[in-house]
Copies of this chain bind each other. A is one copy, B any other.
């Protein structure tokens, strides 16, 4: 079905169902855009009234439309859509876009209508975008099924957006600054084609170099993560998600009814996906403009060329925040700069030409700077001033860019072109770039101004030099290139299933724990499907905690070391267990209503003989009928960490790691990843936290057994992946011994979903 998605951007024949001859109607706008924005194939307006629109004959029904016909754009009242969609299926339409609103977002009736669209599309094996969307654009074919007045210039940014309005606003902005786009898709209610499909629709497009995503919900979060993780090394994915905070979630829910996940789950998912996370439209466009036009840097050393110190100082501050450094220029570079810059220019980094450069100096100086082997990236800064014409400065920066930062080729790479179905790539915009040549260096431009720069802004953006109004934003864009390079070169994060786990034993422990869900504790068949199901019902279910002994058995079955222990219901039984495991021992209260043992004095430490065990046990069991005590070997001193798991509705199981004991609540210094994870992920989680620094050994303390912590993270990740019924899991503390000593899961809590469907 993925191949079929290509018809959305490359259809041979487009019908507009519900096309109106009234120029005030949006459906007239679509016909007009299809025609005036130069779609090269046949356009078929459809309306029972017949007649003519913009010189095109109007067909009275979809069944009357002749061949070729790949795509139907549907703009008729919601109740009529299902019938018409079925007709499209009969007619052999391959893909459809339903622009009409009034479906799920309008209430239960609309939701039912929407469900019928899904059934019809499946029946006829059509792919469907919408309903409640604004359609798609391909600036290179060109194709424009929207009613948005203008189309952006051809370019290399694809934009996949949940929201049609955001696309409209972005188009309006793009036109004003000369930023080009390749493909734009608005997905609306996503009854069929979703954000993950949006990635698939752009990944093979030879004109697309970077994919921008605006998402509200990501109901099938794992599918998105997997698609993105496959693509991001070829094409950067810039991800903006609304509804991260509780306020945003409410705003999204009232808008589309989409499920919204917590911010931490989202960040963990974006990390696995390899997406560049941004928090605003401005950031999304800023970084995409650089990724779409610039090569990737070989290193993080930046040189600034400017005609004023202030903006360069601000840029330098921001560069450092972005993890970039100011390049040290070679003596030779400085000598060469002397010849092409004003007499009083300050030839360090920044290269400050002060108030008096002429425009040509920008070209000459940039070329010299780019040849310095100590320079990896360049930024040209300019403040408009009476002496130097702004447009000339822009032209000279573009002139330099043609040498420094771009590798223009005559046509798209032939292997990429092969992947384009029916229509050949348009010849209208034949010049494309080899993605990320390393022989050239990124260059961005910043002009601090407004009234005098609009022409320069367009000149720069059209000339392949991304323009920013603010020095900090220009520096952030370079930071984005550097961040993408790091992402692209990071180790593979594909989890490898562990062989040495005892799945049957874990299942047995979960079954023994009783309760209606226990019999189906393990995911059946594809565990991914199980997870998705579990996630989708998460909010409706109550979770139930296993007793401590069972929880310990479950993790032990997956190879997590738990202290030698037993459970007794009497004082004499406790003493017997203590004698068996050897002193000192620890007693822990087991009572169904006690979760935080520390809070009720439910733990007795360092009991060194039978008398001490007797006294402590009597205290713990007093006035708690039915309570028992766990008798555990006392673990040697070590670093206390926490290892936890929870399940997110959109992205499935998540692992958490951080400093344990009371510190977890004080510092909240924890790292999250999607489970299961690979060893690299586990090592990264540890390194991100203060716990990791403690484990590395601080001020004469011996280092902890990091290898054992990594191993435990992998095992718990596998466990919560294998058993979707595990809703929450906490090992707190996990005591980490010295290198080679291993770890002990001293206190394990597991909550399972208590639902027969799981």
A103 within 8 A of B: no
A 367-413 contacts with B by CB, 8 A: 383-386
A246 touching B320 in the complex, CB below 8 Å, given contacts A172-B449, A310-B165, A450-B172: yes
Chain B residues positioned under 8 Å from A311 (CB to CB): 165-166, 169, 281
In the complex the two chains form, is A472's CB within 8 Å of B326's CB? no
Contacts of A358 in B (CB 8 A): none
CB distance from A733 to the nearest CB of B (A): 13
Produce 1/0 per residue, A277-318, CB < 8 A to B.
001111000000000000000000000100111111111111
Given A255-B352, A470-B280, A472-B280, residue A386 in contact with residue B313 (CB < 8 A): no
A175 within 8 Å of B (CB atoms)? yes
Contact A255 B163 (CB under 8 A): no
From residue A26, how far is it (CB to closest CB) to chain B in Å?
Answer: 7
Query: Contact check: which of B173, B307, B317 meets A243 at CB < 8 Å?
Result: B317
Instruction: Choose one: B163, B164, B170, B448; the contact of A169 (CB below 8 Å).
Output: B448
Is B173's CB under 8 angstroms from A451's CB?
A: yes
What residues of B have a CB within 8 angstroms of the CB of A246 in the complex?
320
In the complex the two chains form, is B453's CB within 8 Å of A242's CB?
no
A515 close to B (CB within 8 Å): no
Are A26 and B317 in contact, CB atoms less than 8 angstroms apart?
no
* Interchain CA distance A471-B248 in the complex, whole Å: 12
Q: Does A452 contact B (CB under 8 A)?
A: yes
Cβ of B254 and Cβ of A150 under 8 Å apart? no
B251 and A309 contact, CB distance less than 8 A: yes
Report the separation of the CA atoms of residues A498 and B748 in the bound assembly, to the nearest whole angstrom: 52
Count of identical protomers in the assembly: 2
A325 within 8 A of B: yes
Judge whether A340 is part of the interface by a CB distance below 8 angstroms.
no
CB of A599 within 8 Å of the partner chain: yes
Interface assignment of A162: CB less than 8 Å from any CB of chain B: yes
Q: Does A36 contact B (CB under 8 A)?
A: no
Tell me, in angstroms, the Cα distance from A172 to B448 when the chains sit together.
Answer: 8
A313 to B, closest residue via Cβ: B242
Q: Are B451 and A150 in contact (CB under 8 A)?
A: yes
Most central of A166, A170, A453 by chain B CB within 10 Å: A166
Interface presence of A439 (CB below 8 A): no
Residues of chain A from 137 to 187 with CB closer than 8 A to chain B in the complex: 147-150, 161-166, 168-170, 172-177
A326–B247 touching, CB < 8 Å = yes
In the complex, whether A250 has a CB less than 8 A from a CB of chain B is yes
Are A280 and B175 within 8 A (Cβ)?
no
A308: which of B166, B304, B312, B316 is its contact (CB, 8 Å)? B166
Contact of B693 with A344 in the complex, beta carbons under 8 Å: no
| B451 touching A255, Cβ below 8 Å | no
Q: Interface on A for B, CB 8 Å cutoff? A: 26, 29, 101-102, 106, 147-150, 161-166, 168-170, 172-177, 214, 216, 240, 242-248, 250-252, 254-256, 279-282, 304, 307-321, 325-326, 344, 346, 348-350, 352, 354-355, 383-386, 447-453, 469-473, 596, 598-599, 662, 665-667, 669, 690, 693-694, 698-701
Of the A-B pairs whose beta carbons lie under 8 Å apart in the complex, a sample of 29, sorted by A's number, is: A150-B451, A163-B309, A166-B310, A166-B448, A168-B384, A169-B384, A172-B452, A173-B450, A173-B451, A175-B450, A216-B313, A240-B314, A242-B316, A244-B317, A245-B316, A247-B319, A250-B326, A251-B312, A251-B317, A251-B350, A254-B309, A280-B314, A280-B472, A281-B470, A282-B470, A662-B699, A665-B698, A666-B694, A667-B690
